[in-house]
Amino acid sequence: MKIPASVAALPAVLFTLACGGGGAPGPEAARGTATPAPTGRLGKASFSGRVTYGGVVPAAKRLPLAADPWCAETRKEGLAQRPIRVKDGALADVLVYVRGGLVGSYPPPPEEVLLDQVGCDYSPHMLVQRVGQKLRIRNSDDTLHNVHPRPKTNGEWNIAQPRKGTEVTKSFERSEIGIPVGCDVHPWMRAYISVLDHPFFGISGEDGRFEIKALPAGEYEIEAWHAMLKTRTTKLTVKDGEAASLDFAFGG
């Protein structure tokens, strides 16, 4: 989701400068440079809800870790793969975010987001960061990992982290939902990174609940995304100070 910046027409820029007696136009005016988008504002509206799943839940699979002796020794009980996490009908790991309707730009926060590798698994499995925000990637295991995201609109990269304590910082410059991240050394490792250009998102917990705060009044397109299921999209109108309710249902 991009908010197009308004572009000042070149003749209008030259006419304004000439009439104002400001002298020759600068390089920006001569090139017709786009005017920066106004900074987006925060509001007092919010919405919250619950995500449910009515389909058949796949059984958890025990993943073999014998290919890496360190992983096998560290995770003697094995590693359970649960692509869909459901408890009492509540669906976890669903990203709910504002897909359309926002006005202005929202600069990324200075805080870093952390993707760790612990016990031959990614932590967290789902991560959301802002466009341009720093992503710190850490190897907390005493074995070789490599971090290999495969985005569609951002640049792909592949970084090896051979030792415990190895860290690297990266960022993504375009909005993109659900970038799969894998480790070529350990094929069972999987995480998903979503990159947004605004702060209005939430991830459903084990109880299926999510909440999005500080939304300006307006009409929005809201999307719910899960890595293994189809997306759900709906419209939502909120007034300033209103606490709206919005639920999503998957499967069934």
Q: What is the pTM of this model?
A: 0.83
Homologous superfamily assigned to 38-54+89-106+199-252:
Immunoglobulins (2.60.40.10)
pLDDT digits (tens, 9 = 90+) for 157-203: 999 999 999 999 999 999 999 999 999 999 999 999 999 999 999 99
> CATH 2.60.40.10 spans which residues of the chain?
38-54+89-106+199-252
CATH 3.40.50.300 assigned to 107-197 = no
**Residue 160: which residues within 8 A CB-CB, separation 6 or more?**
144, 145, 146
> CATH 2.60.40.420 spans which residues of the chain?
107-197
pLDDT digits (tens, 9 = 90+) for 101-133: 999 999 999 999 999 999 999 999 999 999 999
Question: CA 8 to CA 35: how far, in whole Å?
Answer: 7
Please answer whether residues 99 and 222 qualify as being in contact, where contact means their C-beta atoms are separated by less than 8 angstroms: yes
Per-residue pLDDT at 14: 30
More reliable by pLDDT, 22 or 109: 109
Beta bridge partners of 51: 248
Per-residue pLDDT at 12: 35
